[in-house]
Amino acid sequence: MAAAALQTNIRPATFRVRGLTKQSLAPCRVRCAAASPGKKRYNITLLPGDGIGPEVISIAKNVLQQAGSLEGVEFSFREMAIGGAALDLVGVPLPEETISAAKESDAVLLGAIGGYKWDNNEKHLRPEKGLLQLRAGLKVFANLRPATVLPQLVDASTLKREVAEGVDLMVVRELTGGIYFGEPRGIKTNENGEEVGFNTEVYAAHEIDRIARVAFETARKRRGKLCSVDKANVLDASILWRKRVTALASEYPDVELSHMYVDNAAMQLVRDPKQFDTIVTNNIFGDILSDEASMITGSIGMLPSASLSDSGPGLFEPIHGSAPDIAGQDKANPLATILSAAMLLKYGLGEEKAAKRIEDAVLAALNKGFRTGDIYSAGTKLVGCKEMGEEVLKSVDSQVPASV
């Protein structure tokens, strides 16, 4: 859903569309049963991608479908190729059919992108290029990455219990600007015959303002504290960033705004992460800090994300990579993708009851002691990707919320 959903949380249903199979570019339909009168119906584009992506997307789809059915919501699913899978299929990382399907949908759920197989491809033919193009095509500028240490997993954190226990923060990352997209960029040969690589960190005032508003709104609905992270003591782009964020603070008197340099923020995240509620920062800093925050929780395999635009469908995905070394071995942790499906329901469709069912189901599976290898500890039950998905699915239709 649009970033405006943080205020309205409303998303209209749209029509079903056609999808592509991997075997050919001929269209086919992948859908739920016909909607009953009075039920809401949404159009979801699934992008399994590479590595463990297809495994975790398959599970998340089943959980999403079950949670929706119990809350009067039905889905039409359209599966499309992206990343390495698309390169193998049609020779480009983001086929036109895929971006068109994504734009026509109510929300997009992505698995993972990349793998060793394509590491030596030219820059424009790497799987990751497809993800950048997808984000740009959907104009999803606001990336929300929660990092919460669940009571059941506090001992899985690499930090001491007293440091990790109770951590609950949200990183709001600007996603379509900054050094990842700025121009000029490239590799050239200078007058001395030496190769020189360069990128440009650039932000316009409106880009800063819109991500700051999303962050203020997010903080307002959490604990009312917002920390803006920059490098204003060195970077001109960060000086403007701090100026614009500070100027907007007067519109949110109920939110306590602070500023922190990125190097200090990186230290504080491991020294005292509980001091943070909501963090807002630029593209590259957010990329790094959100990954750091993920390890506080014990595993990157637990964390979902939502990417929102001013209008149009949101993009929801786990923050972990494609993990090609364990792909197809039933070892992946599907919980981050399942929780991304919950964020899809909550932020993308405004279906908070269905989202809560999924969140409670994840907690219920953990309360029962089920763990994939990345979060396993003595005294718990080691399960594979499929079994963990099955356990969550069993708990989805439970009418009693799981304890936190």
| Active-site residue, from 116, 188, 263, 397 | 263
How far is the C-alpha of 249 from the C-alpha of 244, rounded, in Å?
9
Comparing CA positions, the residue from 282, 286, 213 lying closest to residue 249 is 213
- The SS3 assignment for 34 reads coil
How far is the C-alpha of 356 from the C-alpha of 219, rounded, in Å?
20
| Active-site residue, from 203, 231, 347, 374 | 231
Active site residue 230: no
How far is the C-alpha of 332 from the C-alpha of 59, rounded, in Å?
11
* Amino acid found at 238: S
Containing 174, the helix (H) or strand (E) segment is strand 168-174
| Active-site residue, from 168, 209, 291, 330 | 291
Active site residue 374: no
Active site residue 188: no
Q: Tell me which DSSP letter residue 309 carries.
A: B
* Amino acid found at 168: D
- What's the Cα-to-Cα distance from 309 to each of 5, 17, 133, 144, rounded to whole Å? 9, 21, 14, 11
How far is the C-alpha of 380 from the C-alpha of 391, rounded, in Å?
14
Active site residue 180: yes
CB contact set of 93 (below 8 Å; sequence gap of 6+): 82, 83, 84, 86, 87, 113, 125, 126, 127, 128, 129, 130, 131, 133
**Sheet of strand 168-174, all strands in order from the earlier edge strand to the far edge:** 73-79, 40-49, 107-112, 314-318, 304-308, 142-148, 168-174, 278-281, 225-230, 256-261
Q: Which two tokens stand for residue 400?
A: 């009693």
Active site residue 221: no
| Active-site residue, from 106, 287, 360, 374 | 287
How far is the C-alpha of 24 from the C-alpha of 232, rounded, in Å?
51
Q: Write b or e for each residue in 10-44: b if 16 or more Cβ atoms lie within 10 A of its Cβ, otherwise e.
A: ebeeeebbebbeeeeeeeeebbbeebeeeebbbbb
Spatial contact of 172 and 142, defined as CB atoms under 8 Å apart = yes
| DSSP collapsed to 3 states, 65-104 | HHHHHHCCEEEEEEECCCCHHHHHHHCCCCCHHHHHHHHH
Containing 173, the helix (H) or strand (E) segment is strand 168-174
C-alpha angle with apex 349: 347 to 354, nearest 5 degrees?
90
Show which residues are catalytic.
180, 231, 263, 287, 291
